[in-house]
Amino acid sequence: MPWRQTTDPYRIWLSEIILQQTRVAQGLPYYLKFTETFPTVHDLANASEEEVLKLWQGLGYYSRGRNLHAAAKYIVEDCEGIFPNTYKELLKLKGVGDYTASAIASISFNEPTAVVDGNVYRVLSRYFGIDTPINSTQGIKEFKALAQELIDIEQPANFNQAIMEFGAIQCKPQNPYCLHCIFNDSCVALQKNSINTLPVKLKKIKVKNRYLNYLVFKSSDHKTIIERRTGKGIWQGLYQFPMIEGEFDVSRFRESELFLKKTAAYTIKSIEQHNIKPIVHKLSHQHLHTIFWIIDVEKLDDTALEIKTLTSHPVPVLIEKFIVAYFNLK
DNA sequence: AAATCGGGGAC
DNA sequence: GTCCCAGATTT
């Protein structure tokens, strides 16, 4: 892993933000893109948020990308370009919480601050047989304190990365290698046969169903309309086609008040339902049931853009897949 | 304290 | 389908 070959705080920071709730295999190409496109924090700060989000596209949790950009600007503008070099100062960066501040502080600055990520929760809960829920206020405090007590203050970077790697490779969530584990004579969970019930995590999330209708306008001069998502909710800062939310009787969709309002400015030549069966795009908290409507029009207003240039804007994976499949763009 | 925020891979 | 990933932030 390339971020193991450096202690440059900028690169460690990049890797840690990218890897939040993200597997190495998924994050690696993004780390390579970001370090190549933005070799220094100044390059990142000088980019536009849209540029950053375009590079982040497909990785999910887009607030990470927005916060990354904001933090880069903060470092350049308010810290004279000098990367914060203590746990306490690192915590002030947007998108940097306890884990990430600890990781950067230990790896880049040799500060003995213990990291507690999903791996560490698992290793400690099993080895010490702790069943405090890891996502409870008490659990977060308890495991942080324990990790902090255990850290080798002589080599905090090695300790932190070692315990995480041990959790990722040996003490895995499913089917950990207890048989040939160097701790199998002292692991409480193994002795009590509770490997499979630890760590304990509170309640699972409930998924909401949402019904999205995207209006894909096509003008005779090969233009279409996209809009930037603002405000709360998913995909902040990304673009999408004009959208009407709601579950409609498809035969009456084009007569609905919302549809008429959204299309009032244009002269429609034809409407086609691109997919009869809704495309179900699954997020962790939402299942999005999506129908794309292809709407041919004479002319669009001057906010329209060339279909060919769609790919320069950051869009959710759901929209990207449609663009690739329908417009054959990449 | 609980909810929200993506997407993908392993099983 | 379920789990969970080198978590942080908002409500």
Each residue's pLDDT tens digit, A120-138: 999 999 999 999 999 999 9
Which nucleotide lies at the shortest CA–C1' distance from A3? C6
- CB count, 10 Å around CB of A243? 14
* Cβ–Cβ under 8 Å, residues A210 and A283: no
Residue located via tokens 């927005």: A66
- CB count, 10 Å around CB of A9? 20
**Residue A330 pLDDT level (bands cut at 50, 70, 90):** confident
Does residue A15 lie within 7 Å of nucleic acid chain C, judged by its CB? yes
Q: Is the peptide bond before A242 cis (omega within 30 degrees of 0)?
A: no
Which nucleotide lies at the shortest CA–C1' distance from A16? C6
A2-197 matches A208-327 in fold: no
**Residue A89 pLDDT level (bands cut at 50, 70, 90):** very high
The pLDDT score that the predictor gives to residue A203 is 81
CATH code, residues A2-197: 1.10.340.30
* Cβ–Cβ under 8 Å, residues A14 and A32: no
Q: Which residue is nearest to nucleotide C7 (CA to C1')?
A: A20
Average pLDDT over chain A, rounded to an integer: 96
pLDDT at A275 over 90: yes
Per-residue tokens: A305: 């853009």
**Residue A315 pLDDT level (bands cut at 50, 70, 90):** very high
Environment class of A301 (CB within 10 Å of its CB; exposed 0-12, middle 13-18, buried 19+) = exposed
pLDDT at A34 over 90: yes
pLDDT at A271 over 90: yes
Nearest CA-CA partner of A31 in A64, A5, A2: A2
Per-residue tokens: A201: 């995590």
Euclidean distance between CA atoms A142 and A133, whole angstroms: 10
Q: Render pLDDT for A141-194 as a digit per residue (tens, 0 to 9).
A: 999 999 999 999 999 999 999 999 999 999 999 999 999 999 999 999 999 999
Euclidean distance between CA atoms A132 and A141, whole angstroms: 10
Q: Which residue is nearest to nucleotide B11 (CA to C1')?
A: A174
pLDDT at A80 over 90: yes
Helices within chain A (DSSP H only): 9-19, 24-37, 41-46, 49-56, 63-78, 87-90, 98-109, 118-127, 137-150, 156-169, 188-191, 257-263, 317-322
For chain A, what are the domain ranges?
A: 2-197, 208-327
pLDDT at A279 over 90: yes
Q: Which residues put CB within 7 Å of chain B, the nucleic strand?
A: A 21-23, 25-26, 58-63, 136-138, 174-175, 202-203, 205-206, 232-236, 281-286, 316-318
The pLDDT score that the predictor gives to residue A5 is 93
Euclidean distance between CA atoms A15 and A10, whole angstroms: 9
Q: What DSSP character marks residue A227?
A: E
Phi/psi at A234 (nearest 5 deg)? -75, 155
Fold of A208-327: Nucleoside Triphosphate Pyrophosphohydrolase (3.90.79)
* Cβ–Cβ under 8 Å, residues A282 and A210: no
The pLDDT score that the predictor gives to residue A300 is 95
Euclidean distance between CA atoms A161 and A203, whole angstroms: 29
Tell me what the mean pLDDT of segment A267-272 comes to. 96
How far: A152 CA to B5 C1' (Å)?
Answer: 34
Q: Is A37 helix (H, G, I), strand (E, B) or coil?
A: helix
Phi-psi region of A86 (alpha: psi -120 to 50; beta: other; left: phi over 0): beta
Does residue A283 lie within 7 Å of nucleic acid chain C, judged by its CB? no
pLDDT at A204 over 90: no
Nearest CA-CA partner of A288 in A206, A229, A209: A209
Q: Which residues of A are catalytic?
A: 16
Q: Is the peptide bond before A199 cis (omega within 30 degrees of 0)?
A: yes
How far: A282 CA to B6 C1' (Å)?
Answer: 9
The pLDDT score that the predictor gives to residue A128 is 97
Per-residue tokens: A208: 């909401």
**Residue A219 pLDDT level (bands cut at 50, 70, 90):** very high
pLDDT at A117 over 90: yes
**Residue A227 pLDDT level (bands cut at 50, 70, 90):** very high
